[in-house]
Amino acid sequence: MSEPNRIQSPDKKNMTDPNKPSTNTQHILTQSTNTPSFASKVFSEQLPKRELAIVFNTIENIPQIEYLIALSKLISPKDITYASRVSNGRFCVYLSNKNTIDNLLDNHQNITVNNQIINIRRLINPAKKLILSNVCPTIPNSIIESSLNYAGFTLVSPIIKLRAGFNIEGFTHIMRFKRQIFVKPDDFENKPTSIIINHEDIAYRIFINDDTVTCFHC
């Protein structure tokens, strides 16, 4: 009696698991896993922070490079990383690190472009703005600063005179009886709303109005 045909079992060594990728596929997957994608490269870049930016007003018909040349007289051009015009007629510049922006603003409050002085300031300024009203033009800033220090304010910027805002040719230079200064945000609590300054044998009362914490990006 002949034996029934036996079904030969497959050789396990030659058997391929259909769920297991081939050697070539594994090599491709390994390469894909080890190669960073374009998106991951972008996210891995160190992006600048807004605390490293300064902003200032622009002059009509002045090329952008003129502002950067003026700024490069105060800092190295290598420390300028981004620059562009922004809203409200301003120019924004990002610097390379915190020391650069701190040293710049500690030693310089303006740049000179086309023989015009332009005040520079931080894009993000976590300080409280004080508006000083009823300020006689003859009173020096130094006397006002001393009086504010004596009243308990910690000053974080120089005093700036404010323009009257006459946007008519020949009248734009006129200033108002107001000045502006920045102090530490927590300094305004329990502080006087006015100070009396004696100058040239005359007593002047200067009124102090606070403003909200200022973000120059807005």
* Ordered DSSP codes for the chain: -PPPPPPPPPPTTT---TTSPPHHHHHHHHHHHHS--HHHHHHHS-PPPGGGEEEEE--TT--HHHHHHHHHTTS-GGGEEEEEEETTTEEEEEES-HHHHHHHHHH-SEEEETTEEEEEEESEEEEEEEEEES--TTS-HHHHHHHHHHTT--B-S--EEEE----STTTTTPEEEEEEEEE-GGGSTT--SEEEEEETTEEEEEEEEEEEEEETT-
Q: Are 53-122 and 128-209 equal in CATH topology?
A: yes
Question: Does the pLDDT at position 189 exceed 60?
Answer: yes
Specify the range with the lowest mean pLDDT, choosing from 95-109, 124-138, 204-218.
204-218
What is the average per-residue pLDDT within 24-29? 54
Q: What confidence tens digit (pLDDT) does each residue in 160-178 have?
A: 999 998 988 999 899 999 9
Over the chain, what is the mean pLDDT?
82
Q: What confidence tens digit (pLDDT) does each residue in 119-154 have?
A: 999 888 677 889 999 999 999 999 999 999 999 998
pTM assigned to the model: 0.45
Question: For the structural domain made of 53-122, what CATH number should be given?
Answer: 3.30.70.330
Task: Pick one of 3.40.50, 3.30.70, 2.40.30, 1.10.287 as the CATH number of 128-209.
Answer: 3.30.70
Provide CB contacts within 8 A for 122, sequence distance 6+.
Answer: 51, 53, 54, 55, 101, 105, 216
> What are the residue ranges spanned by the domains of the chain?
53-122, 128-209
Question: Does the pLDDT at position 25 exceed 60?
Answer: no
